[in-house]
Amino acid sequence: MSQNIETVLTEDRSFPPPPEFAEQANVTPEQYQQMWQRAKDDPAGFWGELAKSELDWFKPFTETMSGEMPNTKWFADGQLNACYQCVDRHLTTWRKNKAAIVWEGEPGDTRTLTYQQLHHEVCKFADVLDKLGVQAGDRITLYMPMVPELAVAMLACARVGATHSIIFGGFSADAIADRNNDAQSKLVITADAGWRRGKEIPLKANVDAALDKSPSVEKVVVLRRTGADVTMVPDRDFWWHDLMDKATPDRECTHVDAEHPLFILYTSGSTGKPKGVLHTTGGYMLGATMTTRWVFDLKDEDTYWCTADIGWITGHSYIVYGPLSNGATTVMYEGAPNWPDEGRFWNLVEKYSVNVFYTAPTAIRAFIKWGDQWPEQYDLSSLRLLGTVGEPINPEAWMWYHRVIGGEQCPIVDTWWQTETGGIMLSPLPGVTATKPGSCTTPLPGVVPAIVDEQGNELDANQGGLLVMTQPWPHMLRTLYGDHDRFVDVYFAKFDGKYYFAGDGARRDEEGNYWVMGRVDDVINVSGHRLSTMEVESALVSHEQVAEAAVVGFPHELKGEGICCFVTLKTESDASDEMKAALKQHVRTQIGALATPDQIRFAAAVPKTRSGKIMRRLLRDIAAGRESAGDTTTLEDYTVLAKLREDE
Ligand code: WT7
């Protein structure tokens, strides 16, 4: 592998933390050094002390860490509740009447929930779950817009010990059905519809279609959001407000074991069905709590806004669990960044006087495209810290973010992590680290990464290789739901269980900064979200006129990577623009709008190795309009390649 990953980026600009920032930061350089070394040498001691001081336990744990990676358990004989960490524990402090969630809907409606109000709602909805027959350990699907009730539903699940599985509102009925079936969900919580660019996303209708194919689901709770017409099936579907009217507000937290499953979140793998990444309670909550405090430098006075959707891990850890566990004020916005115009985010920053702002490179590229005149119309001087996540950020986008949004005053934390890691792993600490555009810099305390070759040998500085983690950490995934063998196989088998393999290529420079170069397998990163090329291929092949499909990513100005599909039709003469449109629509229906192909190219055949493996590297070159320099000696039929090029 090492010889396959080329370093093309050289970046010398460096931005030390502004002295005023460093002075007030939650972590100083000395503390970072000390914590990092301690956590490396004595992970049990380091995390054990933090778990005792930073989390509230109903039953204290006696053993911090047990078992070898990949089956390490954390705080296993302790009991706690994630909802208690996020809500109840603040009620005995002055934060009782502090804003927990500041929410704005796309049409401009607003709501603020204090910790006390959040508690009231969550307790009532927990009572609703009880009355619907939900038991600890049951799986519940949430398919909702970005409204406060989504956070309420998550926390209520945690309160009663049910495991939530949140599905991003952009996914289709088939994707919901697959996930319902995999998790054997009993209950779906949804809304009539959600707002997106002034249009209604028909969430309930999608759920209805999914339920034809997911028999485990017995009941559906429907929140009224837009007022859209929906069909309510008697004895199966219930309105949120009807149930809440009858609920009582005194439901206590169920005491769950630290290793009790908190949530499943589905993410793409390179082959087969999506992977149900499972996170547990104690370790995840400790990771979410500490990384939020270290990386975002949260202060009680801060207004903090992460623009992600709660349907992704970023929203789980850094809109809900991390900020609320810290007693912070977290902003939630329902809609699109360009509705009613391209200034919406900056309008929100000004209106709520946001201090800490966390978004994705794909969004930043869109802001750049829309032009500086949008942020320039607003007062962004409240901002003191900026963050990014989801994919490598191009240095020029970083510089724009620094200059135009940060006014050259705000440190930028480029945070590398994954659904599987539960929380941020590599990131600058804003009062400690000199940042470099394009680098996620250094590991957080408790994170001990390495760059290795295919054989697991550690590589020297500036050699591109595979990014691995050499020590377990509390907030790592515990398994892939229902498929522990696959879990071991995907993340640990490559290096005989010794390392966690993240699937990313990276290098470390001579100063110890990490530069992530992207995924090494067949997963593409579209707008900061992993999509499996394999799933898009399956969707295409399920179309009756398609014989074969090969899907690759190509560099895309806004999305990071776009989706290019090479399609062989059963009847070559069917190739037409209408067919292209039909196939795009087909993928959209099968997977969701996120997976809509950017390009469909008809091909008489796709290049394959003699063993029948599609040579994606060649297709990637073609999709990107590059000459293929690489090795083609394993190619079965050379003429295929020449034909594909002619067709461009
Ligand atoms: C993959 C994880 C973590 C929440 C969002 C995506 C890429 C993520 C960075 C970054 C370079 C990054 C990696 C990673 N990635 N953040 N700061 N720099 N690459 O979660 O869907 O689990 O995807 O996103 O390739 O493996 P995810």
The answer to pTM > 0.85 is yes
Please give the pLDDT value at position 253.
Answer: 98
| 466 CA from centroid of ligand 1 (Å) | 14
φ/ψ of 508, rounded to 5, equals -120, 130
Rounded Cα gap, residues 464 and 392, in angstroms: 15
Residue 269 pLDDT: 64
Using most ligand atoms within 8 A of CB, pick from 525, 526, 535, 594 the residue to mutate for ligand 1: 525
Architecture label for domain 543-646: 2-Layer Sandwich (3.30)
CA distance 47 to 43: 6
Give CA–CA dist 197/590, Å, rounded: 22
Does residue 348 have its Cβ closer than 6 Å to ligand 1?
no
Residue closest via CA to ligand 1's atom 23 equals: 418
Q: What is the DSSP string of 322-380?
A: HHHHTT-EEEEE-S-TTSSSTTHHHHHHHHHT-SEEEE-HHHHHHHHHH-THHHHTS--
Q: Which of 417, 426, 447 to mutate to test the pocket of ligand 1 (most atoms within 8 A of CB)?
A: 417
C-alpha 646 to ligand 1 mean position (Å): 35
Contact 283, 546 (CB under 8 A): no
Which residue minimizes the CA distance to atom 8 of ligand 1? 390
Task: Tell me, in angstroms, the distance from the centre of ligand 1 to residue 387's CA.
Answer: 13
Cβ-in-10-Å burial (0-12, 13-18, 19+) of 26 comes to middle
Indicate which atom in ligand 1 lies nearest the CA of residue 415. 17
At position 455, the amino acid (one-letter code) is Q
Distance in Å from the first CA to the final CA of the chain: 30
Phi/psi at 140 (5° precision): -130, 130
The predicted pLDDT at position 637 comes to: 64
Ligand 1 geometric centre to CA of 305 (Å): 19
Q: Which residues of the chain have pLDDT under 50?
A: 1-4, 6-8, 648
Separation of 172 CA from ligand 1 center, angstroms?
23
267 CB near ligand 1 (under 6 Å): yes
Tokens 């349907």 correspond to 311
CB 630 within 8 A of CB 618: yes
Q: Which two tokens stand for residue 546?
A: 């398609």
Q: Does the Cβ of 519 fall within 6 Å of ligand 1?
A: yes
What whole-number distance in Å separates Cα of residue 339 and Cα of residue 38? 48
416 C-alpha to center of ligand 1: Å? 6
Q: Which two tokens stand for residue 51?
A: 């778990």
CA 522–ligand 1 middle distance (angstroms): 15
Three-state SS at 13: coil
Residue located nearest, by CA, to atom 14 of ligand 1: 418
Residue 648: per-residue pLDDT: 46
Secondary structure letter of residue 495 according to DSSP? G
pLDDT of residue 1: 34
Asked if residue 65 has its Cβ within 6 Å of ligand 1, the reply is: no
pLDDT tens, 92-122?
999 999 999 999 999 999 999 999 999 999 9
Query: What local confidence, expressed as pLDDT, does residue 624 receive?
Result: 86
Residue 203 backbone phi and psi in degrees, to 5: -65, -50
**Tens of pLDDT along 147-181?**
999 999 999 999 999 999 999 998 999 999 999 99
Strands of 520-578 (E only): list them.
523-526, 529-532, 546-556, 560-569
| Nearest CA-CA partner of 232 in 131, 164, 223, 201 | 223
Cβ of residue 529 lying under 6 Å from some atom of ligand 1: yes
CA of 502 to the centre of ligand 1 (A): 10
Q: Which atom of ligand 1 is nearest to the CA of 419?
A: 22
Rounded to whole angstroms, how far apart are CA atoms 501 and 518?
Answer: 13
197-206 exposure pattern, b = at least 16 Cβ within 10 A, e = fewer: eeebbbbbbb
Best residue among 318, 391, 526, 594 to mutate for probing ligand 1, ranked by most atoms within 8 Å of CB: 391
| DSSP summary character for residue 635 | B
Which residues, in sequence order, are CB contacts of 576 under 8 Å at separation 6+? none
**Cα gap 240→223, rounded to integer Å:** 5
Which residues are 467's β-sheet partners?
A: 451
Contacts (Cβ under 8 Å, ≥6 apart) of 34: none
Residue-wise pLDDT tens digits, 228-242: 999 999 999 999 999
Q: What is the DSSP string of 266-323?
A: EE--SSSSPEEEEEESHHHHHHHHHHHHHHH---TT-EEEE-S-TTSHHHIIIIIIHH
Q: How far is the CA of 513 from the centre of ligand 1 (A)?
A: 17
Residue 558 corresponds to which tokens in the numbers above? 């806004």
Identify the residue whose C-alpha is closest to ligand 1 atom 18.
392
3 state DSSP class of 179: helix
For residue 642, what pLDDT is reported?
65
Q: How far apart are CA 357 and CA 194, in angstroms?
A: 24
Ligand 1 atom closest to Cα of residue 427: 17
Average pLDDT of the chain, as a whole number: 93
Measuring from atom 17 of ligand 1, which residue has the nearest CA? 416
Give 383 Cα–ligand 1 centroid separation in angstroms. Answer: 24
Buried residues in 163-187 as b, exposed as e (16+ CB within 10 A): bbbbbbbbbbbbbbbbbbbbbebbb
CB distance 391 to ligand 1 below 6 Å? yes
Rg value, the chain, Cα: 24
Nearest CA to ligand 1 atom 11: 392
Q: What is the pLDDT of residue 605?
A: 82
What's the CA-to-centroid distance between 314 and ligand 1, angstroms? Answer: 10
Helix (H, G, I), strand (E, B) or coil at 364: helix
Return d(Cα 540, Cα 392) in angstroms, integer.
29
